[in-house]
Amino acid sequence: MRKLDLHDLTLEEAYDEFNEFINKAYSDNINKVEVITGKSGQIRREFPYWSENSHQIKYHEISWHGGSFVVKIEKKY
């Protein structure tokens, strides 16, 4: 599974990296990715809003350890 680690980024940098990562996964027809946010902090709090506002994401769920999100990508038609 492809992973994106957002540790040590500003909120703006993390948002930009997230969008690039999701666009690339969508264009490569990858169906599931992991986005590492850490267990606390502003990026962790904002991530659900980023995911919910992306038309390329079907859904997201918190990983079993709580420090990342598993993201299901829409199929590319």
Q: Band of the pLDDT at 30, cuts 50, 70, 90?
A: very high
Q: Global pTM?
A: 0.95
Q: Average model confidence (pLDDT) for the chain?
A: 96
pLDDT of residue 76: 80
Domain boundaries, the chain: 2-73
User: Is residue 46's pLDDT more than 90?
Assistant: yes
CATH (residue range 2-73):
3.30.1370.110
pLDDT of residue 21: 98
Burial of 69 (0-12, 13-18, 19+ CB in 10 A): buried
In the structure encoding, which two tokens stand for residue 1, read together? Answer: 């599974």
User: Is residue 77's pLDDT more than 80?
Assistant: no
pLDDT of residue 71: 98
